Amino acid sequence: MLFTLLSFAVALGLLITFHEFGHYWVARRCGVKVLRFSVGFGKVLLKRVDRNGTEWALSAIPLGGYVKMLDDPQPEAGGADADQAFNRKSVGKRFAIVAAGPAANLLLAAVLYGLLGLMGTQEPAAILAQPAAGTPAAQAGLQAGDRVEAVNGSPVQSWGEVRWALMDTLTSGGIISLGLETPTGQVTERSLTVPRATIEPDSGDLLKETGLALATPQPRVTQVVSGSAAEQAGLQPGDEIIAVDGRRNPSATELVGLIKDAPEQPLVLVVSRNGTQTQVTVTPQLHTEADGSRIGRIGVMLGAEFPMVTVRYGLLDSIVRGVERTVDTVWFSLKMMGRMVTGDVSVRNISGPVTIADYAGQTARVGLAAYIGFLALISVSIGVLNLLPIPMLDGGHLMYYILEIIRGKPVPDQWLETGQRVGLGLLAALMGLAFFNDFSRLFS
């Protein structure tokens, strides 16, 4: 729990502070006086005033930060101070200052995605399992062992890249073109048509429903317990189990289930040892569980390692891919919001701080690359959310500035007051729904 909260605090603090720095940086270049830049909220722990009169503060609650600008100068203020007030600047400069926060989040996401490409990640190779009968993949003629080399004409290196490339089409429906290399080395292309999906939080894996699944690696013996049935049968560490009683290519889970269901019954295993297949007969020993159930055990530790590839790009390619991934994520987010309005995507998919904190902890435990990917995704989400034309958000202010440009004068105060009330109500409803969904997932 502590690790999860710390991961969440670091993520939120970094992303919101970067957002506020975007406002600060453009404000300074537009000649606006910044009174305070605070990292965190609440009681100020440390502070320093720079030569421009900005107070840089470190506050007690590390969940973001804020920028306080000179807005309405005092009547006795001189001309210089008045000229540095935010509300005295042209509408173009005010627009740029407000838009800079979301833009900073999108820029950070592009940098993080580019960094992932530059540093390289270990991902499963895109080798397919046998598609289930009747699925679009089976109808298109895909076979077990086919390796995906391209999606809709764009090269892919790993299963993660395949999933990302297919995400939009899987949710919206359409035709998918896959460039494949068969187990015999033949290069071919297959096309499959997927229907438009209705997305619910408890929906199944859309890839699996399409018939596209990652091939399960063969279970491998990693350790043999001394005196066990496995040792007596001659099993050795490194043995790869390719068949059980005539059942070919069982997964590790299937193998464990077959052994549990056969106490004191001989099982014929076909194993690959040093490139040579051999047959072994093992009789699982009877074991009584705490609940009284009787299961079989043979006394081995099993492992199943997916074939892995290193996905890494050069500097220029990493930059380009970082920008492309950010643009694609923004577009996909907007499409999902639109489909949420039309009812194709359930509002139960909206997540709040509890779910985000959970993902922060999970990705941080997986490793640095997963956590960086999480930061990039949330940075995009913050940028997109803040650009929505809802009063109280940056997008709401931008909407007012656009109206000011069209009208040739600022919007009336009455409009601003009404917008504030509407915006506050919308945000409260959205936050309430997010918390409701969070706790529904937590207790369901």
Q: Mark which of 252, 270, 303 sits at the end of a domain.
A: 303
Q: Residue 199 sits in which domain range?
A: 121-215+306-311
Measured CA to CA, the distance from residue 390 to residue 398 in angstroms comes to: 9
Measured CA to CA, the distance from residue 413 to residue 418 in angstroms comes to: 9
Task: Give the per-residue pLDDT at 80.
Answer: 63
Task: Give the per-residue pLDDT at 401.
Answer: 94
Whether 9 is in a domain gets the answer: no
Whether 423 is in a domain gets the answer: yes
Q: Mark which of 303, 337, 369 sits at the end of a domain.
A: 303
Same domain, 285 and 382: no
Residue 189 annotated in active site? no
Whether 237 is in a domain gets the answer: yes
Task: Give the per-residue pLDDT at 76.
Answer: 56
- Contact predicate 212/188, CB 8 Å: no
Domain count for the chain, please give it.
3
Same domain, 204 and 290: no
Q: Considering the candidates 20, 123, 161, 209, report the single residue annotated as catalytic.
A: 20
Task: Give the per-residue pLDDT at 327.
Answer: 95
Residues in the chain, pLDDT under 70: 73-80, 200-204, 444
Whether 382 is in a domain gets the answer: yes
Q: Mark which of 261, 280, 303 sits at the end of a domain.
A: 303
Measured CA to CA, the distance from residue 43 to residue 312 in angstroms comes to: 44
CATH code of the domain covering residue 231: 2.30.42.10
249: helix, coil or strand? coil
Q: Which helix (H) or strand (E) covers residue 132, if one does? A: none
Collect all residues with Cβ–Cβ distance below 8 Å to 339 and sequence separation of at least 6.
171, 199, 345
Task: Give the per-residue pLDDT at 353.
Answer: 79
Q: Give the pLDDT confidence of 102-144 residue by residue, as tens digits.
A: 999 999 999 999 999 999 888 899 999 889 898 999 999 999 8
Whether 88 is in a domain gets the answer: no
Task: Give the per-residue pLDDT at 5.
Answer: 83
Record the pTM.
0.82
Collect all residues with Cβ–Cβ distance below 8 Å to 213 and sequence separation of at least 6.
128, 129, 131, 207
- Maximal CA-CA distance, the chain: 96
Same domain, 317 and 400: yes
